[in-house]
Amino acid sequence: MPRYKVTVEYDGRHLVGWQRQANGPSVQQHIEEAIQKFCGEDIRIQGAGRTDAGVHALGQVATFDLQKEHSPFTVMNAINQHIKPAPVAILDCENVDDEFNARFSATARHYLYRIINRRAPLTVDEGLAWHVKKELDSNAMAEAAEVFVGQHDFTSFRAAACQANSPVKTLSKMEISRFEDEIQVRLSARSFLHNQVRAMVGTLSLVGHGQWTKADVQAALDAKDRQKAGPNAPPHGLYLTDVDY
Amino acid sequence: MPRYKVTVEYDGRHLVGWQRQANGPSVQQHIEEAIQKFCGEDIRIQGAGRTDAGVHALGQVATFDLQKEHSPFTVMNAINQHIKPAPVAILDCENVDDEFNARFSATARHYLYRIINRRAPLTVDEGLAWHVKKELDSNAMAEAAEVFVGQHDFTSFRAAACQANSPVKTLSKMEISRFEDEIQVRLSARSFLHNQVRAMVGTLSLVGHGQWTKADVQAALDAKDRQKAGPNAPPHGLYLTDVDY
């Protein structure tokens, strides 16, 4: 059976997230239904990252098998054709061998978190960034972010619903930069816990507001208790940008 | 009477353009109604550029007078409060002297035109860029854009409805660069004719597709005939980014 790897972009604003849910349309469901319309095969696809409701992707990756052989170009165009008007697009499609799995073969996942830091409401970026009105000190946030880099027990930054076997993860990058009103947080790791990025960014926002110090972030990490960390940043600032294999 | 200068951002997707129209909500109408709700004054504001339906702004500028004195900070916040949920935001507000006029005092206007050049449909950028599926040669477009730079009679790139006294304008910049799938066109001039940017970008897309040469663009400019130039690029790729004074 031919196996396909697709690169997927989506606007999470009107989606319940990657995984199929009872309460609305998910990315997975949209793609599976488009495949069904295209070739009649009722399959389940595997995604690299199970993004939450409201979270966007510029480079999510998924794999699936089809009974019948089609060229990757045909598969890409057919899904894009049948998935309309859902805000989901297949950017690329290729054949991979049957050892390859979008989720388990991934060696790194890269996320971007966008904050727009200004008093005025958002217009073109509404639902595409976290709007923070009070001034954030992005240098202090960047300094405190160093606490997270490396291998740690991230229990304090993990959703109660997280299904990972271990809370120990290795964050290889967390870089924070400011361009005028926009603060961008870029993160990389082999894998992340459920809500880990949003919990870390939400906690760093407390540092940006001067309420917390870098030492407070360290203490929250050391506590291994979700109650000791800051709130989750909202989902609509978050983008899964790339997955490495 | 105090005069105020405001910097305005808007998402043109659900707006009929800058100017008041009978057929739907304009940016001007939204701002004027918000001012009316804030202080009861029924005024007309003056914008630096009369953007068309669907065109966005990151830094439009407008001026207006109020009978009663308020701090610029109060004016900004009050308009932002009362304009909701329209996708229009006041980014900045300051007092200016009564010689200053958003339209007539402008010394340069800067526009960005965004093209996303890929087969896959748009998701997060839907309505925020021109989607061109067939490959564009952005280097050929950049080379041909040189034809437009400088002082020319732009009759071939002017809407029939254009109200400017003269078709002669001086384009001080037209730079085209590509970042992966996105082609950005950055233009600057003291002022532009109606539809000039969209007609120039639409014409350059013919060069990008290999249908026209740089010499064809020169011939279209020399013809001083709108019928001899290419089609208008769609409005939703266009952003008024800045106005200089």
Q: Do residues A121 and A149 share a domain? A: yes
φ, ψ (nearest 5 deg) of residue A225: -150, 115
Q: Do residues A84 and A186 share a domain? A: no
Taking CA atoms, B95 is separated from A242, B69, B74, B92, B101, in Å, by 46, 10, 12, 11, 12
User: Structural domain of residue A116, as residue ranges?
Assistant: 111-244
Residue in B78, B168, B182 with CA at minimum distance from that of residue B138: B182
Q: Do A11 and B126 make contact, defined as CB atoms within 8 angstroms?
A: yes
> Is the C-alpha dihedral spanning B26, B30, B33, B39 positive or negative?
negative
In angstroms, rounded to a whole number, what is the distance separating the alpha carbons of residues B101 and B47?
A: 9
Q: Do A9 and B76 make contact, defined as CB atoms within 8 angstroms?
A: no
The tens digit of pLDDT for each residue in A220-238 reads: 999 999 999 999 999 999 9
User: Looking at the domain assignment, is residue B101 inside a domain?
Assistant: no
Q: Do residues A75 and A150 share a domain? A: no
pLDDT at site B164: 87
Taking CA atoms, A153 is separated from A7, A145, A157, A170, in Å, by 31, 15, 9, 9
The tens digit of pLDDT for each residue in A42-88 reads: 999 999 999 999 999 999 999 999 999 999 999 999 999 999 999 99
Q: Do residues A130 and A167 share a domain? A: yes
In angstroms, rounded to a whole number, what is the distance separating the alpha carbons of residues B26 and B103?
A: 17
Catalytic pick among B11, B42, B52, B242? B52
Counted across chains A and B, CB pairs separated by less than 8 A come out at 60
Q: Is B137 a catalytic residue?
A: no
Give the residue from B7, B123, B126 with the most A CB atoms within 10 Å of its CB, the best one to mutate.
B123
Where residue B226 sits, what CATH number does that domain have? Answer: 3.30.70.660
Q: Do residues A136 and A220 share a domain? A: yes
User: Looking at the domain assignment, is residue B105 inside a domain?
Assistant: no
User: Looking at the domain assignment, is residue B171 inside a domain?
Assistant: yes
In angstroms, rounded to a whole number, what is the distance separating the alpha carbons of residues A82 and A33?
A: 8
Minimal-distance CA residue of chain B relative to A73: B119
Q: Which residues contact B165 (CB under 8 A, 6 or more apart)?
A: none
* Band (A169; pLDDT cuts 50, 70, 90): very high
8 Å CB contact between A149 and A174: yes
Block mean pLDDT (10 aa), chain B, length 245 = 97 95 93 97 96 97 97 98 97 97 97 98 98 98 98 95 91 97 98 96 98 98 96 98 98
In angstroms, rounded to a whole number, what is the distance separating the alpha carbons of residues A18 and A28?
A: 6
One-letter amino acid for residue B122 of the chain: L
pLDDT at site A34: 98
* Minimum distance, in Å, between the CA of residue A216 and any CA atom of chain B: 34
pTM comes to 0.94
Residues of chain B positioned with their CB less than 8 A from the CB of A120 = 9, 76, 80, 89-91
Q: Do residues A80 and A35 share a domain? A: yes
3-class SS at A209? coil
Helical H segments across B97-137, by residue range: none
Q: Which residues of A touch B (CB under 8 A)?
A: 9-11, 56, 58, 76-77, 80, 84, 87-91, 118-124, 126, 128
Q: Do A123 and B9 make contact, defined as CB atoms within 8 angstroms?
A: yes
* Minimum distance, in Å, between the CA of residue B131 and any CA atom of chain A: 13
Domain count for chain B, please give it.
2
Which of B69, B96, B123 lies at the terminal end of a domain, its last residue? B96
CA A85, A68, A245 angle in degrees (round to 5)? 70
Give the residue from A14, A30, A112, A124 with the most B CB atoms within 10 Å of its CB, the best one to mutate.
A124
Minimal-distance CA residue of chain A relative to B124: A11
In angstroms, rounded to a whole number, what is the distance separating the alpha carbons of residues A30 and A18?
A: 10
Minimal-distance CA residue of chain B relative to A181: B91
In angstroms, rounded to a whole number, what is the distance separating the alpha carbons of residues B75 and B187?
A: 31
Q: Do A120 and B76 make contact, defined as CB atoms within 8 angstroms?
A: yes
ipTM: 0.93
The tens digit of pLDDT for each residue in B22-34 reads: 888 999 999 999 9
